[in-house]
Each structure stands twice: as structure tokens, then as C-alpha cells.
Amino acid sequence: MSTRRIIEEGRGVLGIELGSTRIKVVLIDEGHAPIASGSFDWENRLENGIWTYHMEEVWTGLAAAYKALKEDVLNKYGVTLKKLRAMGISAMMHGYLPFDAKGRQLAPFRTWRNTITGQAAEELTGLFNFNIPQRWSIAHLYQAILNGEEHVGDIATLNTLAGCVHARLTGVKALGVGEASGMFPIDSAACDYDQAMMDKFDALIAPKGFGWKIRDILPRVLTAGAEAGCLTEEGALLLDPAGDLEAGLPLCPPEGDAGTGMVATNAVAQRTGNVSAGTSVFGMVVLEKPLGRVHSQIDVVTTPTGKPVAMVHGNNCTSDLNAWVGLFGEFCELMDVQADAGTLYGRLYNKALEGDKDCGGLLAYNYVSGEHIVDISEGRPLFVRTPESDFTLANFMRTHLYASVGVLATGMEILLGEEKVKIDNIFGHGGLFKTKGVGQSIMAAAIDTPVSVMETAGEGGAWGVAVLAAYRADCKGMSLEDYLNDRVFSGMSVETIAPDPQDVAGFKAFMERYTAGLSIVRAAVNAL
């Protein structure tokens, strides 16, 4: 009855995340506990060499996910969801969504997964003396300029997916600072775009004669807790075409999956870090001081409050692994064996723990798309073995789990080894950690650091942005760090797995084979 009353009185808070494979909606109560959820499955498309999503599917998917949430609320509590206290939007970071002055989309959505901006990223990194990854919006924009794409002169607004959805719901063109840091470098002291770098970019493109400067077309930057607009009548109908959802509720600044991942793991203070492992994989550490030099393998982004964060990002994590599990699922159907997805993942992941520490000489690459960290331009998933390899199911599964974090380990070695960045806590969240203890132990071996998982690890960014929305409604001058420590995570159970020395040695042996074999992937890119 108490939960029903919370819903009826509009005291629930909603978080929406547009992830790579699913749009998820989570409703939380005043204690930040999830009380209902809904989702819509979708998948990116490779069209004309571009990884993209059709924007009409964004709106139909949002409505479908919200409808599923309403049904969940009705089934559990016997009440129709009408009022909310606050709401937040999160989505996959980076990418390219340009619009003209009338709000018309000028080019297909170019997602974080694309590796088509190499020239732009290299030139801008040199210009700024600051690493500009290929995924970042500014790299996509400059590459479009270098390509001579006609639409560039008509751009009135450049946005990310989270910012685009937030603008449709509120009419406000703004981003949380963590999400903005995936568009253009941030000056953490000002919690705004770096003006000196903006001036350099404007001077670089001045000969083109565009009618805009870079600040003109980027969303304004907001920190966690700031006012970011309210749900309009149009926005409410976009989410809930049935017309039950009441407009007027406040939204927090929209954030990317990196920022909401930090919140979901209480990793927003210095010397804390988290690893998100799902379709993509990224490790993040909140820095005490600037890095010693520019590294092409390490991005510098920010927390939702503007603190600098070192980020190691891999475009691929579990997609190829999921495809193999799906193949085993097909085999089960062929053999008339009933096995749901949860059982398949649980059995196969746990089987991997029985494998040889070095995977018995097996080797895999999970590159569904390119990987800038290891200089692979296109995706070519591969499984390789020699006649002497010990080809068992346990070794096969362990190999694919190792491969899922191989790129992350390459970048984290620079961060922890060369840069000597200090971490007190690393928290894991995302699909890789859903099977208890397995992904956690693999990750601990990969980065030779204890990895902790909270009971909210499976909730991900939708829960994280719901917490940010609750903070927007309740903060009253409290810092985000204190709010998370005192209001959200106090008393929450945490399970920590320390790296096993034999696992660490086995992973190191695998990585030596993995690094030496990258030429196999490059040959496949050229040949296939």
C-alpha cells in the first residue's frame, strides 16, 4: 500500500536510458529503490557504412518502453501512473545528430560505434593538444567538413541522442556536463566548453564561411542538480500517447551512459572508478591531477559535476559473446532442450571458470565494429586456434570472456601502469556482471585490481539517471558526492572480488597472444 500511495501521489521518479540494445525505463521510490520498469529492444543498423538508428524508432521505442512501465505499475500496484516528481534522460554518449533552424535532421544519426573520423580526430588532437576520440561529436562534425558534406552550412543545432530526446520533451537545448564532455572538451574549472579550444576550432574553419561558430550550435552545459526544463504537454504525449502522464514535472540535465554509470556505482569522487561492460566497455577513473601527456587510447571526460575523468573506451564488449550464446541456444532448440537466456548465460559463464587460466592457447577478437585503441578500422569478429590448442567448451567460453575486455585492458595498462593513476575502488556494472562472480573475476584479472559489484549493478544507466533526477528534486545545496553517500548508497550491500594471482598470470599470457595476433584481424579487414 505504501508503494501504491507513492505512485498515486506522484512521488515516484523516472529514469529513461536509450542504450545500445534496449530502451529502458525505471521508476524509483523515495528510497531510490526500483519499483517498476519497462523496456523496448532495438538494435543499431549498418547502413552505407554508417552505424545508425532511425530516429522514428527512438520515439516509437520510448512510447513502447513507457507503456510497458505503465503496465508493470498497473499489474503490481493496481494504479495507473499519472504523476511523477522528476524525470531524467540518459543515452549512449557521443555521435552526431545535426539539425537545421526548423528542427529538421540533416544527416543520419552517426553513433559512437563508427570509426570513420580518423583524419578529423588526429588533426583536432594536434590542434588542441588534447585527445579527441573518433566517437566525439566534434570529430564527426570536422570530418563532415573535411568531406565537404553540403549539410554542414545549414546546421543550427548539433546534439547527442540524450540531448535530442531531452529537447523534444522539454524544449530546452542543454546537456549535463558529463554528456557535453563527449561533444567538445570541457574546462572543468568553468564547467563549460573550453573557450580557448573553441577559438582554435573557429579559426580553423573560418575560411569555410559557415554562418555559425561552434558555441552557437552546441547545447548549453549544466551540472548535476541544475534546472534543465520541465516536461511539456507535447513531451508528455510523446512518452504517453494515452494522455495519462501529467506535464510540468522537472527534468535533470540529460547525461550519457558514462555519467549515469558513474552515479549508478557511486564513482563520482576522486580516486573512485567504475567499469561498464555491455555492448561497449569503458573504464573510468576520477582524476586527482591531469595526466602526464596526451594518450590516443585515453579520453578525458567529466563527472556529472564537472570533475575530470580518465576514460578507456572499447567499442565492443559482449556483442560477439552474445552471438555465440545465441548459437548455443539454437543448438538447444535443435535438440529439444528447454533453456531460457538466463540459464544459458549462467551455465556457460560459470563453465568458463573451469577453463585453463590462459584459455588453453585459444584466441578470439570480438570486433563487431572497429577499435581505435588497437588501430582496427572495421569489425571482423574472429575465433582462432592452433592444432595444439586445448579446444574445450570451458576454454572457449573463457576465451570469449577474456576477449570481451581485451581492449579495455590495453588502455587500462597505460592508465594504471604508465600514468600511475591511483584508484581506491573500482565498481562494475552492466550485462557482463549479471552472472554472479564470473564477469567480476574476469575483470579483476584483466586490470589486476579488486572489482566490487553493488546490488544495483544490473539496473544500469536508467537507474543512475533516475537517481540524478531525484538529486535534481532534492539536493537543496548538498553535493552530489554527499547525496550519493548519505542518501543512496548508505547501507547498500557490496561484493568485492580480489584478483587471483593465477588468473592475472593467465590473462597476461592471453594478452600477449592477443596483441601478437592483431595482424590477423587487420588481414581479415583487408581480405573480407
> Helices (H) and strands (E) in the chain — how many of each?
19, 22
Q: The domain containing residue 382 runs over which residues?
A: 319-404+502-527
Share of the chain above pLDDT 90, in %: 88
Average pLDDT, the chain: 95
Instruction: Specify which residues 22 forms β-bridges with.
Output: 41
All residues at 6 or more sequence positions from 3 whose CB lies less than 8 Å from its CB, including other chains = 29, 35, 76, 77
Residue 63 and residue 238 in contact, taking contact as beta carbons nearer than 8 Å: yes
pLDDT class of 279 with cuts at 50, 70, 90: confident
- Please report whether residue 333 resides in a domain: yes
Give the tens place of pLDDT for each residue, 408-464: 999 999 998 899 998 887 998 888 888 889 999 999 999 999 999 987 655 678 999
pLDDT, residue 518, reads 97
Rounded to whole angstroms, the Cα distance separating 284 from 176 reads 17
Cα distances (angstroms) measured from residue 176 to each of 16, 183, 522 = 15, 11, 38
User: CB 54: neighbour CB atoms within 10 A?
Assistant: 12
Give the tens place of pLDDT for each residue, 292-308: 999 989 999 999 999 99
Give the tens place of pLDDT for each residue, 213-245: 999 999 999 999 999 999 999 999 999 999 999
How many domains does one find in the chain? Answer: 1
- Please report whether residue 381 resides in a domain: yes
Residue 40 and residue 64 in contact, taking contact as beta carbons nearer than 8 Å: yes
pLDDT, residue 39, reads 96
Cα angle value 35/261/448 (rounded, 5°): 125
- Please report whether residue 468 resides in a domain: no
pLDDT class of 35 with cuts at 50, 70, 90: very high
Give the tens place of pLDDT for each residue, 44-103: 999 999 999 999 999 999 999 999 999 999 999 999 999 999 999 999 999 999 999 999
CA-closest candidate to residue 436, choices 350, 512, 375, 325? 350
Residue 166 and residue 172 in contact, taking contact as beta carbons nearer than 8 Å: yes
- Please report whether residue 506 resides in a domain: yes
- Please report whether residue 330 resides in a domain: yes
| 289-324 core/surface letters (b: 16 or more CB in 10 A; e: else) | eebeeebbbbbbbbbbbbbbbbbbbbbbbbbbbbeb
pLDDT, residue 456, reads 62
pLDDT, residue 99, reads 98
Q: Rounded to 5 degrees, what are φ and ψ at 393?
A: -60, -40
pLDDT class of 113 with cuts at 50, 70, 90: confident
Rounded to whole angstroms, the Cα distance separating 425 from 402 reads 22
Rounded to whole angstroms, the Cα distance separating 438 from 442 reads 6
Beta-sheet pairing, 382-384 with 363-365: antiparallel
pLDDT, residue 278, reads 85
Residue 241 and residue 255 in contact, taking contact as beta carbons nearer than 8 Å: no
pLDDT, residue 249, reads 97
Question: What are 255's three cell numbers?
Answer: 547525461
Expressed in angstroms, the distance from the first to the final Cα of the chain is 60
Alpha-carbon Rg for the chain, nearest whole angstrom, is: 22
pLDDT, residue 195, reads 98
Share of the chain above pLDDT 70, in %: 99
pLDDT higher than threshold 90 for residue 286: yes
Question: Helical H runs in 45-193?
Answer: 55-77, 118-128, 137-146, 161-170, 177-180
Q: What is the mean pLDDT of residues 250-265?
A: 93
Residue 301 and residue 181 in contact, taking contact as beta carbons nearer than 8 Å: yes
pLDDT class of 500 with cuts at 50, 70, 90: very high
User: CB 199: neighbour CB atoms within 10 A?
Assistant: 13
Give the tens place of pLDDT for each residue, 349-403: 999 999 999 999 999 999 999 998 999 999 999 999 999 999 999 999 999 999 9
Q: What is the mean pLDDT of residues 279-304?
A: 92
pLDDT class of 115 with cuts at 50, 70, 90: confident
Q: What is the mean pLDDT of residues 153-174?
A: 98
pLDDT class of 149 with cuts at 50, 70, 90: very high
Q: What is the mean pLDDT of residues 119-129?
A: 97
Q: What is the mean pLDDT of residues 272-288?
A: 90
Q: Within the chain, what is the greatest distance between any pair of CA atoms?
A: 67
pLDDT class of 1 with cuts at 50, 70, 90: low
- Please report whether residue 395 resides in a domain: yes
- Please report whether residue 509 resides in a domain: yes
Strands (E) across 92-223 are located at 97-99, 157-159, 174-176, 186-187, 192-193, 220-222
pLDDT class of 475 with cuts at 50, 70, 90: confident
Cα distances (angstroms) measured from residue 97 to each of 27, 103, 157, 399, 498 = 28, 11, 8, 37, 42
Residue 30 and residue 10 in contact, taking contact as beta carbons nearer than 8 Å: no
Reading phi first (left if > 0) and then psi (alpha if -120 to 50, else beta), residue 367 is in: beta
CA-closest candidate to residue 398, choices 344, 454, 360? 360
Quote the pTM value: 0.85
Instruction: Specify which residues 175 forms β-bridges with.
Output: 221
Q: What is the mean pLDDT of residues 122-131?
A: 97
- Please report whether residue 253 resides in a domain: no
